[in-house]
A and B are shown apart, each in its own frame.
Chain A
Amino acid sequence: MRTIRNRLCTAGMASGMAVAEKGRSDLGKEVEEKLHEFITYLKQKNPHSSYDVAKRTVLLLREVCSKTRWYSARDLITNIRAAGKKLIAAQPSESAVGNMVRRVLKIVREEHASCVAGSVDEVDVRALLQGRDDSDDLSRQTPHLKGSVIEIINDLLGELELSASNISSQAPDHIHSSEVLMTTGYSKTVEAFLKAAARKRKIEVIVAESAPFYRGQELAKNLAVAGVETIVVTDSAVFAIMSRVNKVIIGTHTVMADGSLKAINGSYALCLAAKRHSVPVLVCAALFKLSPQYPCSYDHDTFNKIVSPHDILRFSEGQLVSKVHVQNPVFDHVPPDLITLFVSNIGGNAPSYVYRLISELYHPDDQEL
């Protein structure tokens, strides 16, 4: 036992790589099984709800914390990173996985710092100037770390579960009576938001159907069933109808670190039309969708998911298919200057404030896992 413990400690301090290789044995059979199960789930082609993905990631990481063998914060961080890397590699376009891994890593670092020094760890230039090297700090053993990390992870799970209802409870603050709202595609957050607004205000909703998946039609049906006055329009009518719209409310897949969005295809056109008509754009997105990464070349190939063109041009139209190049991207990149407000579970924030949220939720050392 002692020799294994010594080996782990020295390996952990010497190089993360060595322990990552040992990672397989460090994670234990039970956790490895669950990891593989989740990876299979991620690799399926069906679009996943980011909430489900985020929740499952946190549950898995809680297993890693509670059921694997680790002796210091550094070991735990290495274990989490090893698991996280595999998950992200399984489905790189699913940013919720990476976000949750980094959230948990920040939790571990914070709890370690408060166990050791009684003060919250802060990365700043002064620390760099004073040559404070905290790589040794993380290898210090803290007895209560496990308990407090599990507790905070449970808080995180609670936050995830309540995020949709927290966002929709803010609806009456942002929506006034007799307003015409516009949205595109189908976002569960936006659906809940609009339903909550409809309970207290008289609103009318225009939904762009969002070809080629036509999920906007699904949203329109759900809203109509709930008694909200809904109109469905084609995507090409968005600009024409924008002059009658008071507010645009959209959901998003991811919020990037500069405040830009990775949203469903069609959102960029909607936001441009809104800007042209000076219509405020509200983005309803929970904090687990906030990613600390900037849209740049390291994920250029994985930024957008291009799926089968069958929905645009059926394969049965064989003659045409061989002569044209058909692309069916799933996402749009919306720059931050087109967005007015982010409505998240902690309240409303401007896109220029996103940097602050990121510095509170994530640690810069975890950028590259």
Chain B
Amino acid sequence: VTVHDCSFDIYSVGTISGLRAELKVATETLIKARTSTVSVSSGCELFLRFITMTSLEGQNDFEDLRRKLIKRGDMYLQKVADSRQKIAHIANPFIRDGTTILTHSRSRVVYCLLKEAMSSGKRIKVFVTASTIDNSGEEMHQLLQDAKVPSKVILDSAVGFIMEEVDLVIVGAEGVAESGGIINKIGTYQMAVMAKALNKPFYVVAESFKFVRMYPLNQGDLPNDEKYTSVNSSEDSHPYIDYSPPQYITLLFSDIGVLTPSAVSDELIKLYL
């Protein structure tokens, strides 16, 4: 969401194509700056499309268009901010009373969902992987403790060990690919495979702006500049993200509703056309 706050400085340009050029430059700078680049690039791409669509509505006066864009942009920002709550509301019924949940690393959407489940009176227990590449699992654990959700940090390598004790797995996503698979923090793929092996439902929660036009066939298809952190981008360093194919995913919860992995490509087409 902070992405769009930045990209909202509409520079003093006189034409629409000038505006687009400026926004493209802004997008590229943003992608270079942050580590979680997949959601940034998909969000920016959608925003650019949004601009194109607005400009197609035939405005003669550029000032008029500018005002309309700003208004639409604010509306879009508002919808994006609300989407987390909407997703939590949609996904809440799938968490039953007394379930044990496994999640991976830190995701704001998953946190929102777990908080909602807790506040609707359900008793839940959460296991979070430490996600040792940047210890974001510890951060998630802290957030959950503050929200009074019973949680425990486990080693990344303990996922197989703990899988028999959990009832379902919920993860966020950095990007949702066209195949219906997800791109998420490293370690998600093995969690998905384990969940499938032990017949546990694997749920993904992601906002609609994370739907990206990518169709990876394997881990090697993920672009290198998104795989490795900008700090040490040599091929010897550890990858930051991985790809979980759609056959391991049970359902995707997004602000456009509950989707099966096969429904994702349809929704993507609707978003981008």
Contacts and interface: CB of A to CB of B under 8 A. Distances in A.
A144 interface: no
Interface in A338-369: 352-356, 359, 364
B191 to A, nearest CB: 19
Given A130-B72, A258-B251, A364-B257, A352 B267 contact: no
Interface in B220-250: 250
B1 interface: no
Interface in A123-138: 124-126, 128-131
Interface in A237-260: 257-259
A298 B93 contact: yes
A125 B262 contact: no
A129 B97 CA distance: 35
A297 interface: yes
B257 A126 contact: no
B157 interface: no
A294 interface: yes
A150 B192 CA distance: 49
Interface string A191-216: 00000000000000000000000000
Contact of A258 (B50, B53, B97, B260): B260
Interface residues of A, number: 22
A294 B97 CA distance: 17
A297 B93 contact: yes
A367 B34 CA distance: 39
B96 interface: yes
A355 B263 contact: yes
A125 B260 contact: no
A264 to B, nearest CB: 22
Given A125-B267, A258-B251, A355 B260 contact: yes
B79 A294 contact: no
Contacts of B79: 128-129
B259 interface: yes
| Interface secondary structure of A, over-half rule | helix
B67 interface: no
Interface centre among A125, A131, A356, A364, by most B CB within 10 Å?
A: A125
Given A297-B94, A356-B263, A257 B72 contact: no
Interface centre among A126, A129, A296, by most B CB within 10 Å?
A: A129
A300 interface: yes
Nearest to B254: A125
B271 interface: yes
Nearest to B93: A298
Contacts, number: 53
Contacts of A124: 270-271
Contacts of A129: 50, 53, 72, 75-76, 79
A129 B207 CA distance: 13
Interface in A275-326: 294, 296-298, 300
A356 B270 contact: no
Contacts of B251: 258, 294
A298 B97 CA distance: 11
A355 B266 contact: yes
B44 interface: no
Contacts of B94: 294, 296-297
Given A131-B72, A294-B94, A297-B95, A126 B263 contact: no
Contacts of B267: 125
B162 interface: no
Nearest to A358: B263
Given A296-B93, A364-B257, A125 B208 contact: yes
Given A257-B258, A300-B96, A364-B257, A125 B270 contact: yes
Interface in B40-71: 50, 53
Interface in B147-178: none
A352 B251 CA distance: 12
Nearest to B99: A297
Contacts of A125: 208, 256, 267, 270-271
A46 B258 CA distance: 34
Contact of B75 (A131, A296, A355): A131
Interface in A36-75: none
Nearest to B80: A129
A124 B75 CA distance: 16
Contacts of A356: 263, 266
B260 A259 contact: yes
Given A294-B94, A297-B93, A126 B262 contact: no
Interface in A114-129: 124-126, 128-129
A352 B263 CA distance: 8
Contact of A355 (B95, B208, B259, B270): B259
Nearest to B270: A124
Nearest to B267: A125
A173 to B, nearest CB: 24
Nearest to A367: B257
A354 B259 CA distance: 11
A354 B258 CA distance: 13
Interface of A: 124-126, 128-131, 257-259, 294, 296-298, 300, 352-356, 359, 364
7 contacts: A126-B270, A128-B79, A129-B53, A257-B258, A258-B251, A297-B94, A356-B266
Given A126-B270, A355-B266, 10 more contacts: A125-B267, A126-B53, A130-B53, A257-B258, A258-B250, A258-B251, A297-B93, A298-B93, A355-B259, A355-B262
What are the 9 A-B residue pairs with the smallest beta carbon separation, nearest first? Answer: A352-B262, A355-B263, A124-B270, A298-B93, A297-B96, A296-B94, A296-B93, A131-B75, A125-B271
